[in-house]
Amino acid sequence: MLKYINLGYKPKKRDVVVEYYVEPNGISLEKACEQIAAESSIGTWTTISTMNPTIAKKLRPTVFSINKRTKEVKIAYPPELFEAGNMPEILSSIAGNIFGMKVIKSLRLQDIHFPKQFVDSFRGPKFGITGIRKLLGVKNRPLVGTIVKPKVGLNARQHAKVAYEAWRGGLDVVKDDENLSSMKFNKFDDRIKLTLKLRDKAEQETGEKKIYMPNITAETNEMLRRAGVVKKFGGEYIMVDILTIGWASLQTVREANLGMVIHAHRAMHAALTKNHKHGISMLTIAKISRLIGVDQLHIGTVNVGKMVGSEEEELHIEHDIEDKFMSKNEKGHVLEQSWYNIKPVLAVASGGLYPGCIPKLVERMGNNIVIQFGGGCHGHPKGTRKGATAIRQALEATLSEIPLKEYAKLHPELKLALDKWGIA
Amino acid sequence: MLKYINLGYKPKKRDVVVEYYVEPNGISLEKACEQIAAESSIGTWTTISTMNPTIAKKLRPTVFSINKRTKEVKIAYPPELFEAGNMPEILSSIAGNIFGMKVIKSLRLQDIHFPKQFVDSFRGPKFGITGIRKLLGVKNRPLVGTIVKPKVGLNARQHAKVAYEAWRGGLDVVKDDENLSSMKFNKFDDRIKLTLKLRDKAEQETGEKKIYMPNITAETNEMLRRAGVVKKFGGEYIMVDILTIGWASLQTVREANLGMVIHAHRAMHAALTKNHKHGISMLTIAKISRLIGVDQLHIGTVNVGKMVGSEEEELHIEHDIEDKFMSKNEKGHVLEQSWYNIKPVLAVASGGLYPGCIPKLVERMGNNIVIQFGGGCHGHPKGTRKGATAIRQALEATLSEIPLKEYAKLHPELKLALDKWGIA
């Protein structure tokens, strides 16, 4: 049998490096590492006649770090093992069969370091932070938006009306919910036409650029058709549920080069990411998304909303999707990553947010974020438009460094919001 | 706030019914159910102005069963909540944000019951068991095959040669491994051309129909291009890694109606399925795959190979992908399912198998299976061809109800295999 462990090995610049958390099942951690390295590359469970020393030498990965205390393991894979530019194939290797092995109790893919050759083989975002800011004409402040609520239920006309109210109230962005696509009572094409028409009206009336992010999630060709409908009616954005459509389709949507901003919703991610001992980290999902080329990505709410996610982890994620270079952070399970020519992704905070969350979000996540409010907008005691106004007021107060309570004295919409939901 | 629990509710025939395992985090199981029902449908975390009684009445799901002991919960969703025929959208609802909620510690989607309207909205397999048997001219026996090994490493010519040896030795099927796509040293188009040429030769020499299942896993359009290459050189099969390409792409591949058998590999499934308290069950993944329309699906090795999976669970999966009607099984977390016009899928057993596994596999899984051997073929002491022969001999012995040890007395290839690996 081949051997894969070599703790003296120093990863080459061209290697793909993967960090795993490994809990063996009835064997030693070392033996588990051997089997993971084999199954994710060129090996199998028995000696085989078709293996030869040339193949083994050229393609064998190396387990170069084993931390027995934390059960963290690092493996360096030669790039020839993978097809550059083919994300499903890369994941079928390093995030494939290994999860199902009997000899492994739990396995978590913590991070992947992609060398230059692989970074260059993907497109990355077409717009990224700079492109989005240019499109909106908003230089420094966070963008604020809403998700039309109820998630599903309004007809196309009602949907467009709620969107209009939100824009008129002061929001930049209106977004479909992740489970709204083309329903019997709210057909995609009708919704897009009506909503973008009212977007134009809101733009004229407010003098601000307004954004609608329609959810095109569907079978690949139908997604591309829907993107065409959005474009036809003057939309510049599309939204996709990246986990439920899958990586091959996300690549297809990006490679279609539609000239539209891609907003990535991450519904289902926590089926993979929530358990810290098994599955795939959100950091990994975020890096894959940046490589493939989404422009905006939901990364969490640094612990102020309804969804899980630690502040520390989410800030690592934000850095890794925004920065040119990510330093390694042993404790945070973050590998070093150079992003070369790949543009930064705009982080999205969403999930159980209300106006009183804005100061904390901006303090922790900075200005390069989109803050999305669902119930925290439409749940305002005076309805959607006032809810939107309250959000914009909370943002203004935050940017002017005025305490929300203070600002609320002269801003009744904000006051009502704070009275209902408080300050995070 | 809306209420979703009604334990007196009897699901309607048209409802989509979902069974979850739910571990709440700091709240009661009932409250957790309310929040799961809300977040997966029309609700959010606060009261909202845009909700109205008509929407609530028409679209509200009902939690109709809560088992406090086992933490199993059943929810019936009205079909209007979903877009029929759009698998990503359906999953974004019932397998989306809910995994990430703070108030839920663990959540597992155990099964989905699809009503007729939804079953009819997907294509299902084009070939299925009957179509595959007709293509091969093999009426009753299991199909036996190999995965070319090493997983990645051979060049196109070597790959074709190993495939030829396996076919000549007696196997029906040769399959690429899940991480082999188009490598620098083994380009997809070259491999297909050379391997299918030697398949033709093997067919002529043996008088048997031989199958090559090339892995087309890639970005969607590239997958379709690769499928075209396979067709051009006379291939009838394509293989995809369903989890790493994702559901939108799988739908696209099926809807392209290529006239080719689709073999589904499930690399990465265990990131979702392995933990019995969190994620998505393999049964659910299998049902989704049947609905969309794969013809063959890896379901496990009923506990004789290297991969996890209980015999009971895998037999439920086999029934649910093969039968016209699946009865409910409370203990096995299986919901009733009628399959209407959707064809049966051929189950594939693969992962750490060797000739000595065949009797148990056939006894437990029946004749409607493909049994795949990787190391258990190429690891034969006399190489691939003899390994293939040993497998075919083990199959013959099993079908003739002759003990392998007995049969091995007159069949030296089988004897060598039993000497190396034993009998499961």
The domain spans of chain A are 16-119, 128-421
With beta carbons less than 8 A apart as the criterion, state whether B82 and B67 touch. no
For B305, name the nearest residue in chain A, comparing CA atoms only: A102
CB of B1 less than 8 A from some CB of A: no
Place of tokens 């571990």: B23
Is the bond preceding B150 in cis, omega lying within 30 degrees of 0?
yes
Which residues from B are below 8 Å from A374, CB to CB?
44, 48
Task: Copy the structure tokens of residue B374.
Answer: 């990787």
CB of A40 less than 8 A from some CB of B: yes
Whether A351 and B97 lie within 8 Å, measured CB to CB: yes
Note the pLDDT tens digit of each residue in B70-96. 999 999 999 999 999 999 999 999 999
Mean pLDDT of all residues in B294-299: 98
- What pLDDT score was predicted for residue A418? 98
- What pLDDT score was predicted for residue A190? 98
Q: Does position B183 have pLDDT exceeding 90, yes or no?
A: yes
The interface predicted TM-score (ipTM) is: 0.97
Whether A150 and B55 lie within 8 Å, measured CB to CB: yes
Mutate to test the interface with A, among B21, B47, B82, B92 (most CBs of A within 10 A): B92
- Catalytic: which of B71, B74, B149, B269? B149
Place of tokens 């909202």: B48
CB of A383 less than 8 A from some CB of B: yes
Whether A102 and B308 lie within 8 Å, measured CB to CB: yes
B298 part of the active site: no
Residue B326, CA distances (Å) to A135, B230, B287 in order: 53, 35, 11
Mean pLDDT of all residues in B384-409: 98
**Is B16-119's fold the same as B128-421's?**
no
- What pLDDT score was predicted for residue B303? 81
Which residues from B are below 8 Å from A27, CB to CB?
none
CA distance B401 to chain A (A): 28
Nearest to A152 among B41, B185, B280 (CB): B41
The domain over range A16-119 is classified in CATH as 3.30.70.150: yes
Which residues from B are below 8 Å from A214, CB to CB?
none
Query: What whole-number distance in Å separates Cα of residue B59 and Cα of residue A153?
Result: 7
CB of B133 less than 8 A from some CB of A: no
Nearest to B185 among A80, A181, A184 (CB): A80
CATH architecture for residues A128-421: Alpha-Beta Barrel (3.20)
CB of A324 less than 8 A from some CB of B: no
CB of A47 less than 8 A from some CB of B: yes
Nearest to B153 among A42, A274, A308 (CB): A42
- What pLDDT score was predicted for residue A1? 57
Whether B41 and A251 lie within 8 Å, measured CB to CB: no
β-pairing, B72-77 with B16-24? Answer: antiparallel
Whether A49 and B280 lie within 8 Å, measured CB to CB: no
- What pLDDT score was predicted for residue A309? 76
The model carries a pTM of 0.97
Report chain B's mean pLDDT, rounded to a whole number. Answer: 96
Whether A178 and B245 lie within 8 Å, measured CB to CB: no
Q: A160-164, B2-6, B158-162, B289-293: which has the minimum mean pLDDT?
A: B2-6
Whether B250 and A246 lie within 8 Å, measured CB to CB: yes
CA distance A139 to chain B (A): 31
- To the nearest 10 degrees (0 to 180), the angle between helices A282-292 and A311-322 is 20
- Catalytic: which of A74, A113, A159, A265? A265
**How many CB atoms within 10 Å of residue B423?**
17
With beta carbons less than 8 A apart as the criterion, state whether A237 and A268 touch. no
Query: What whole-number distance in Å separates Cα of residue B242 and Cα of residue B36?
Result: 27
Which residues from B are below 8 Å from A102, CB to CB?
306-308
Handedness of CA A275, A277, A278, A280 (dihedral sign): positive
With beta carbons less than 8 A apart as the criterion, state whether B59 and B78 touch. yes
Whether A306 and B93 lie within 8 Å, measured CB to CB: no
Average pLDDT, consecutive stretches of 10 residues, N- to C-terminus, chain A (424 residues) = 89 98 97 96 87 88 97 97 98 97 97 98 98 96 97 95 98 97 97 98 98 98 98 98 98 98 98 97 98 97 82 95 97 97 98 96 97 97 98 98 98 98 96
Mutate to test the interface with A, among B18, B158, B244 (most CBs of A within 10 A): B244
Note the pLDDT tens digit of each residue in B323-371. 999 999 999 999 999 999 999 999 999 999 999 999 999 999 999 999 9
With beta carbons less than 8 A apart as the criterion, state whether A387 and A415 touch. no
- Catalytic: which of A71, A113, A149, A380? A149
For B246, name the nearest residue in chain A, comparing CA atoms only: A246
Whether B91 and A149 lie within 8 Å, measured CB to CB: no
With beta carbons less than 8 A apart as the criterion, state whether A74 and A65 touch. yes
Under the banding of pLDDT at 50, 70 and 90, the label for residue B56 is: confident
CA distance A133 to chain B (A): 28
Mutate to test the interface with A, among B23, B58, B117, B219 (most CBs of A within 10 A): B219
Whether A217 and B268 lie within 8 Å, measured CB to CB: no
Burial category of B396 from C-beta neighbours within 10 Å (exposed 0-12, middle 13-18, buried 19 and up) = middle
CB of A117 less than 8 A from some CB of B: no
Whether B241 and A151 lie within 8 Å, measured CB to CB: no
Whether A246 and B245 lie within 8 Å, measured CB to CB: yes
Query: What whole-number distance in Å separates Cα of residue B15 and Cα of residue B33?
Result: 18
Which residues from B are below 8 Å from A42, CB to CB?
150-153
B149 part of the active site: yes
For residue B413, give the nearest of B173, B175, B205, B170 by alpha carbon.
B170
- What pLDDT score was predicted for residue A2? 64
Whether B375 and A50 lie within 8 Å, measured CB to CB: no
With beta carbons less than 8 A apart as the criterion, state whether B355 and B421 touch. yes
Mutate to test the interface with B, among A82, A245, A353 (most CBs of B within 10 A): A245
CB of B308 less than 8 A from some CB of A: yes
Query: What whole-number distance in Å separates Cα of residue A246 and Cα of residue B285?
Result: 14
For B381, name the nearest residue in chain A, comparing CA atoms only: A49
Whether B51 and A150 lie within 8 Å, measured CB to CB: yes
CB of B373 less than 8 A from some CB of A: no
Whether B181 and A51 lie within 8 Å, measured CB to CB: no
A262 membership: H or E segment, kind and range:
strand A261-265
Q: Does position B178 have pLDDT exceeding 70, yes or no?
A: yes
With beta carbons less than 8 A apart as the criterion, state whether A361 and A375 touch. no
With beta carbons less than 8 A apart as the criterion, state whether A82 and A16 touch. yes
Inter-chain CB pairs, A–B, below 8 Å: 366
Whether B249 and A244 lie within 8 Å, measured CB to CB: no
Strand, coil or helix: what is B220?
helix
CB of A185 less than 8 A from some CB of B: yes
- Catalytic: which of B159, B265, B386, B411? B265
Q: Does position B272 have pLDDT exceeding 90, yes or no?
A: yes
Note the pLDDT tens digit of each residue in B102-126. 999 999 999 999 999 999 999 999 9
A227 membership: H or E segment, kind and range:
helix A220-232
DSSP code of residue A183: B
For B82, name the nearest residue in chain A, comparing CA atoms only: A183
Q: Does position B2 have pLDDT exceeding 70, yes or no?
A: no
